[in-house]
Amino acid sequence: MTVQRPIALLILLATPSLSHAATLTVDRYGSGAYTTIQSAINAASDGDVITVKAATYTEAIDLKGKKITVKSEKGSSSTIIDANSTTTWAVTMNNGESSATTLQGFTIKNGAYAGLYLKGASATFKDITIKSMGASAGVNGAGAYIEGGSPSFTSSEFTANTSSYGGHIYVTSSATPSFDDVAFTSGYGSYGGAIFVESGSLTLKDSQFDGNLGYYGGGGIYLASGATLITKDIELDGNSTYYGPGGGIYAEGSTSLTIDGGNFESNTIAAYSSGYHGGFLYLGASATLTLTDATVTGNTSYYGGGVYAESGALMSVENSTFGGTSPTSAARCS
């Protein structure tokens, strides 16, 4: 009689190894695996989270295109990246960083040139403070130089940065940055006290511009020809130019502005008696403006304390309030 016995077959299937996101800890005093942020970035892989203990880190960092999150434990008020003026940029992203690359909870200061260098980067920034960067000559965008890409900023602050074009931010190469709940204060630029858009589209929501100076135009924002501005419920208060139009916003010809909601007050042109126009907004020829549900008051210029539009500019204004401007009309067309 033949006895049949079960035969156990062991089948080994080739499967890819599974990788799991790691958490890397940085502590300059030695309690973590890393004492510098850059060393942790160098060791990290896509999906990893780098947690940074509160301290001042004297270094500049490069995210190297990695899809990682670099965040502080206690927020920007307690965790500082100090580039010590030894490198051009405090933070560099120029390797195609996507929205999966996140920098969160840092104060950034003392880059020899500026704060953020973003080239083709669409990274995510949260709770970032950038202050006291740049110089009045040879610098564009002392807070952030944005060349291409679509970076996003939330709950952040740019303060007391200085440059030739865009005291805080310079936008070029058709970049499309967005800012939500961001404060821009005390910036200085020869053109664009807070932001200069050379080309691209700028989106702002629930953000504030206060006390910025664009010496020759655009106390808050300067839009070069062809640039686009889209805003929702922003505030421009107390921004100014000295010798130039657009105490709040200067828009060259062929720009497009969509402004929904917001308050625009006390923006001025210091030398308005010399014939500079548009206390809040100057619109160049062929520029287009859609203004809805806004309050424009207390702005000062030679003509058009609120808005001055050159011949050929197009304006659509709905449900908005103009008042308290000086010394002449709230809105004027050339």
Residues of the chain with pLDDT under 50: 1-3, 5-18
Task: Give strand pairing partners of 257.
Answer: 229, 289
* Separation between Cα atoms, residue 249 and residue 301, nearest integer Å: 12
Check residue 6 and give its pLDDT: 45
Two tokens at 288? 């287009």
Predicted model pTM: 0.91
**Max Cα–Cα distance, the chain, nearest Å:** 118
For the chain, the residue count is 334
Q: How far is CA 21 from the centre of its chain?
A: 29
Structure tokens at 259: 């402004």
The pLDDT mean for the chain works out to 91
Q: How far apart are the first and last CA of the chain?
A: 112
pLDDT value, residue 312: 94
The answer to the question of residue 277 being in a domain is yes
* Domain of residue 296, residue span: 132-333
> Does residue 252 sit within a domain?
yes
In a domain, 11, yes or no: no
Contact predicate 140/116, CB 8 Å? no
Does 64 reside within a domain? no
Q: Tens of pLDDT along 287-315?
A: 999 999 999 999 988 877 889 999 999 99
List residues bridging with 157 in a β-sheet.
129, 183
How many domains does the chain divide into? 1
DSSP-derived letter for residue 18 is P
Say how far residue 284 (Cα) sits from the centre of its chain: 24
